[in-house]
Each structure stands twice: as C-alpha cells, then as structure tokens.
Structure 1
C-alpha cells in the first residue's frame, strides 16, 4: 500500500480544479489492473528517487515530474465520464461544485462569501450552509484556502516579492496580506519561502 501526501500549492491548477469539484461527489474510483501496474511502477520510481535525491542534482525536478504524473493518473480517473455515470447529485453538491468553479475563476477579485452568493443568485447564509454541509467548511474558509494555496505556489515557484504576490492576488495592502498569510500558516511569507526552497 502506498500513501502520497502532496503540499496543495504544488498541485497543478488543472488537477486541483477537477479534484476539488469531483471528490465531493464520488466514492473512491477504481482502476483497471493495467493502470494499477503503471501507477505502482511510478510510485516505486518515486520512492527510489526520493531515497537518492540528495545525491542527484536533478532529483528535485524528477520528483516533481513523477508526483505530477501520479496526480494526473488519479485526476484522469475522476474526470472520466464513466466515473460520473449513474450518480445522482443533490442540490447542495451542485451548489458546492458551482461555488468552487467560480472560486477558481474569481478568487483574485472576490474575497467575500456575499460576492459569490450574488454571482450564484443565492442568499449568503444558504450558500454557506450548502457548502458547509458538503465540504465540512464554510465559504470563507475555502476563499482563504484558495488564496493561501496560490500564495504558497507563487512563493515556491517564483522570485516575486511579497508585495508583488499580494498585488497579484488582489491585495493593495501587502502588510495586511502578510498578516493574513502568517495567521493561516503560522509562518511569514518570507519564512515559508526560506523553509521550502
């Protein structure tokens, strides 16, 4: 048995969008024997790469590529039409999926639950209740999670300053953004970058 834990900020946006939308709706997907063998080979190769990472200057890039491929396997299975066949979706699932889809498109612009409620023509309490019932967390939680995840991705993959990242994410006040990040992660944006790069 293998367990793969991946920092959300390192997951490609394409995969994240699919997984965030569909994991709420489906039972775990099953793979055919051929795909399972291929996946098993990838996981074993990843394990080997991780154990020799310190000796290999390309190890970090190989690791990232393998993790990306493995996540692609899982994402593809959730996205396959047969995974969704015959599944009836309740109203709250549809609302939650629609909210998350809008969040991916508008998180830099809209920061309040009421913004999304207006877009969806729902009351804010009703949107919050539907999302919390399905996902276990409030609309505010998901908005903040999306912003912090994207901030972590930018801190890891770019050399942008904290001010540039804040502006890109829709915050004019970079000091406020830094406080928000520090509260959520218990480390400053600069501290996060130093720790993970």
Structure 2
C-alpha cells in the first residue's frame, strides 16, 4: 500500500474514531468496533492515525503579557489567528485553547516556554532602563535619603550584557516628566 492510500485510510479512520468518541449507545459501540477492525486490517497504529488530527488543546498562562505571547505563538504555528477562551466551571483559570494537531501542540508548548522566559529577560532589562531613564532614585529631598557609598558589586557577563541593553533602551525612551504640581516647582536661585 502506497503512502497516498495509507493517508486516505488514516483520514477515514479518524472520522470513524471521532464518531466512536461522540456517538451514543449502539452507534458508539459499532463505530469503535469498525475502527478497531479497520485499524488491524490495514496494520495502522493509533499514533499514525491521529498524528494529523486537529483537536482543541488548552494552554495555561500567568498574566496578560504571557497570554499575548501565547496567542502570537498559536498564530505562528497554525497560521490561524482564532483561539478559544476557557469558560468552564473554573473560569478563573487562565487558559487559552487552540485547534491544532498533537505535533503543533508540542511545538506551541516548546515555543511558549522558550519565549515566556525570553520575555522575562527582556522585560527585566527594560525595567532597569525605565528606572534609570526616568531617574526613579531618591535624591537629597527624600525623607530617608542616605548617600550611597557602597562599592559596586562585581557583575557577571550576563548582568553586564543586560545593563548595556538597558542603557541602549534608555536612549530611546520619551522620559516624560510628571506634572510639576506633583513634584513641586524648582526653586529659582538669585
């Protein structure tokens, strides 16, 4: 049997298995018996039959940024921008669903875990840049201000790289100032 025939039989078996899973009573039993008989006759395994079956897979996320990354990955892997929102009994659970194959689901999981960590690393560099670029450090007017005379700690190569990136990010920030009513008018010198 050539690959084209094998694929056609696998597609038919997928439909029969879907009927067996959704069917009721005798219909379900008949479909499952037919599925098992045909699978044995054509010497196919479940993995081979269901490899390309598109089913709904659920993926958890922690916050809004991670959810956005997850949706981007759904689109990257499947080419489909649609997704499902979990509204089950425990709808507070943060889950998004994607219609995909088992292989695509594995790829989504792999990419999501990788890019989730990359997002954390990049966000850390951005936050350092944001703090430095907007000068969010105490000055002499702060109630508990103390002069910092502690020697700077030795940095790892990764920390140095992150600080260089933060300095670069800082160059491109708007660095807007809060309204003067919040920070007070600077005193003019005579």
Give the structure with the higher percent strand.
Answer: 2
What TM-score does the superposition give when structure 1 sets the normalisation length? 0.21
Give the structure with the higher percent helix.
Answer: 1
